[in-house]
Amino acid sequence: MPFQFFGTSGAMSSPERDNTALAFYSKDEVVLVDCSGSPYQKILKAGLDPTRVTSLIVTHRHVDHVYGIPSLAHNMGLAGRRAAVHVYALSETMKVLRGFMGLFPLEEKMPYRIELHEVPPKEGHDVLRAKGFRILSTPVKHGAPNIGLRVEFDSPGERGAVVYSGDTSPCPSLIALARGADVLIHEATFLHDEVVRAAADGHTTGYQVGEVASQAGVKRLILCHFSASLHGREDELRREAVHSFTGPVELAEELREYRV
Ligand SMILES: [Zn+2]
Ligand SMILES: [Zn+2]
């Protein structure tokens, strides 16, 4: 199942990298994960059809993961969308989403509905099932309640699992979720010399992300959510990760199609 990064940075964007957000897609539908930047433009730049976007999963309430939502909702309405958009999030995150809907009259003039689905903070929760794939969530360890996601797909010629960590410190629940995955997309916000700050902020260092990938037994590791202070020096994160993980380690590139 192909996926693309709409952004790969931490909380600060830079000329090179936008805030972390992703799109997973099958032949029939697109599932967005987090919503930053100019999301409608990113969908178009990625070569995806906005009418195929069925769902948005919001991992947590931090600004860099949610601020694009009003714009996405507005643009979809202006484009004449009729089908409902399903939004999945933890109850804490949902408060922010309801706040957006109070702040902007998103649905009043829109020809479609936004349907909110609350995700319980439960390990291995079945968030959604669609033709050819399903998505599971698990709570991870961050400054706000947050979830990691496992996308499992099984369609002719394609079978596997991709896991996205969300923002997190290394944690057993994410390692369990990632067990044996073909690809682990994991945040690597800081280098290991900032391990104390990483722990305080609920993030992972380059060195730690290699350990997580190795403990989870994944086949391939893709790093993202890089602190803006490391843009241009991301290879240092990769070099830390390969200390403890022997599989391939890549630095996420924006608007490039990845396949398992
Ligand atoms: Zn973040
Ligand atoms: Zn965060």
Q: Is the pLDDT of residue 248 over 90?
A: yes
CB 13 within 8 A of CB 228: yes
CB 87 within 8 A of CB 115: yes
Between the CA of 85 and the centroid of ligand 2 the distance, in Å, is 24
**pLDDT tens digits, 147-194:** 999 999 999 889 999 999 999 999 999 999 999 999 999 999 999 999
Q: Is the pLDDT of residue 12 over 90?
A: yes
Length of the chain: 260
Query: How many CA atoms within 13 Å lie on the side-chain side of 208?
Result: 25
> Closest Cα partner for 74 from 101, 54, 48?
101
CB 220 within 8 A of CB 248: yes
Give the environment of ion ligand 2: residues with CB less than 5 A: 62, 167
Between the CA of 191 and the centroid of ligand 1 the distance, in Å, is 16
Which ligand neighbours the alpha carbon of 12 most closely?
1
Between the CA of 185 and the centroid of ligand 1 the distance, in Å, is 14
**pLDDT tens digits, 106-155:** 777 789 999 999 999 999 999 999 999 999 999 999 999 999 999 999 99
CB 119 within 8 A of CB 90: yes
Quote the tokens at residue 15.
Answer: 């000329």
> Closest Cα partner for 186 from 229, 141, 228, 155?
141
Between the CA of 180 and the centroid of ligand 1 the distance, in Å, is 25
Which ligand neighbours the alpha carbon of 34 most closely?
1
Is this prediction's pTM over 0.85?
A: yes
Which ligand neighbours the alpha carbon of 168 most closely?
2
